[in-house]
Amino acid sequence: MEYVDHPLIKSKAVEARLYQQVIFDSVREKNSLVVLPTGLGKTQVAIMLAVHRMAEIPDFPVLMMAPTRPLTLQHRETFENAIDLPSENFKVLTGRVRPKNRKEIWDEGRIFFATPQTVERDMIAGRMSLDVFSLLVFDEAHRAVGDYPYGFIAERYMATSEDPLILGLTASPGGTQDRIEKWTIVSLYFSTEDEKETAKIIATIAEREQKEDRGEIPIRRERKSLTLTELQRFVIEGLPGVSAVLAKRLLEHFGSVEEVISSSEEELKEVHGIGKEKARDIRRIIESEYVPEEEDQNR
């Protein structure tokens, strides 16, 4: 038996099933809805995608939502058994945690498990912000109808995050085409015995993506130069460990590229997402004397 090999996954914790690997390769770069019957490993796909995003954007946590407290606790246990991180990095937030305590908890972990009602309330109350998350996982995504919080959360996340990624999981694809439109899902992997439902889903995706292609792709291809703002972000993103989100935060905090470059380690650490090591690495790059490549190998 083969197992997934990743620095953040415990040895022999996640079986390397070919179809799950295929799904993972499909969902890691775009918002996706995975429809698989119960027992075929939707959660394992979420685990693989979570560690991928944590390795890719280390300073940004992951949020997985489920409709009930028992299910959030179950997901926490599954993730903790598979992912090689201390237990304090896995946080559960439900209505049983007092609101005054939740704000501190939101600032502490790396992987969060919460009910969507708790997330919605804390967003509105200002106790948490979705733009700090590198990945949002919506379990039982078929619930995203009417006033259920999933739709609101997904829309706010897409509107505020600089580098968003959504993974929806469900074993019940009924009515999925409505959710595809609302969530801006761009990829769908499914396995269902309901051929009529499958056909409707495929038709919805095809119709929407044809419209999007006509409206957006030509504009991107005709673009010949970056704006001044984009150039400023491009410069800052060249610093070690600085993602698009961090580049924007740094520029908004300091006001200009010059101010970012001239800031001290202590000043850099004032920006959310810049820790001690990252601030030190940034200053080292800025302050180190340039030497030719042939000499650089000896440094």
Quick one: pLDDT band at residue 179, thresholds 50, 70, 90? Answer: low
Quick one: pLDDT band at residue 214, thresholds 50, 70, 90? Answer: very low
Residue 214: CB atoms within 10 A of its CB come to: 9
Instruction: Sort residue 8 into left (φ over 0), alpha (ψ -120 to 50) or beta.
Output: alpha
In this predicted structure, what is the pLDDT of residue 143? 82
Residue 220 above 50 pLDDT? no
Closest CA to 116 of 86, 79, 84, 152: 152
3-state secondary structure of 199: helix
CATH topology of domain 228-287: DNA polymerase; domain 1 (1.10.150)
- pTM more than 0.75: no
| Range of 172-176, 211-215, 247-251 with top mean pLDDT | 247-251
Contacts of 187 (CB under 8 A, 6+ apart): 26, 27, 30, 31, 32, 33
User: Could you report the per-residue pLDDT of 26-45, keeping only the tens digit for each?
Assistant: 888 888 888 887 777 899 99
Count helices and strands (H / E) in the chain: 14, 7
| Domain extent listing, the chain | 18-219, 228-287
Q: Are strands 111-114 and 62-65 parallel, antiparallel or unpaired?
A: parallel
18-219 is classed CATH 3.30.465.10? no
User: Could you report the per-residue pLDDT of 238-296, keeping only the tens digit for each?
Assistant: 888 787 778 888 999 999 999 999 999 999 999 887 888 889 989 999 999 888 766 65
Q: Report the C-alpha gap between 299 and 297 in whole angstroms.
A: 6
